[in-house]
Amino acid sequence: EAGVAQSPRYKIIEKRQSVAFWCNPISGHATLYWYQQILGQGPKLLIQFQNNGVVDDSQLPKDRFSAERLKGVDSTLKIQPAKLEDSAVYLCASSLVGTANSNYGYTFGSGTRLTVV
């Protein structure tokens, strides 16, 4: 079974520039999540999709972050404009509906490491 694919692996941009990250979840996983992991901290949920609908985006800084999941498969997370404090690893995860709180858990991608200078 292929894992969660994310690209790019690394990105360096200047503050106020824009950046986009892409995620392809495991086939058949209806639920997709974007987490932000700042160095030395645990991941923090930004947004959760079920199919192509948003379930929870309460912690997404909507003035600069946006995300979409067209056709309920791939997802894109965008930051515009970026700030220095956005430097972090952006993790995408997916799960079968209703199994994140179970022995199946999430499957995480390896993340995109963003550095804003």
Partner 1 sequence: QKEVEQDPGPLSVPEGAIVSLNCTYSNSAFQYFMWYRQYSRKGPELLMYTYSSGNKEDGRFTAQVDKSSKYISLFIRDSQPSDSATYLCAMSYSNAGNMLTFGGGTRLMVKP
Which residues are near partner 1 by CB under 8 A?
Answer: 4, 31, 33, 40-45, 48, 55-56, 91, 93, 95, 98, 100-106, 108-111, 113
Shortest CB 1 distance to partner 1, Å: 14
Shortest CB 78 distance to partner 1, Å: 20
Query: What gap in Å lies between CA 58 and CA 114, rounded to an integer?
Result: 22
Shortest CB 15 distance to partner 1, Å: 24
> CA distances (Å), 53 to each of 29, 75, 88, in order?
14, 11, 25
Shortest CB 90 distance to partner 1, Å: 11
Closer Cβ to partner 1, 28 or 42, answer by number: 42
- Which is it for strands 88-95 and 107-108: parallel, antiparallel or unpaired? antiparallel
Q: How many CB atoms lie under 10 A from the CB of residue 61?
A: 14
Torsion on CA atoms 85, 89, 94, 95, rounded to nearest 10:
-90
Closer Cβ to partner 1, 27 or 102, answer by number: 102
Closer Cβ to partner 1, 40 or 63, answer by number: 40
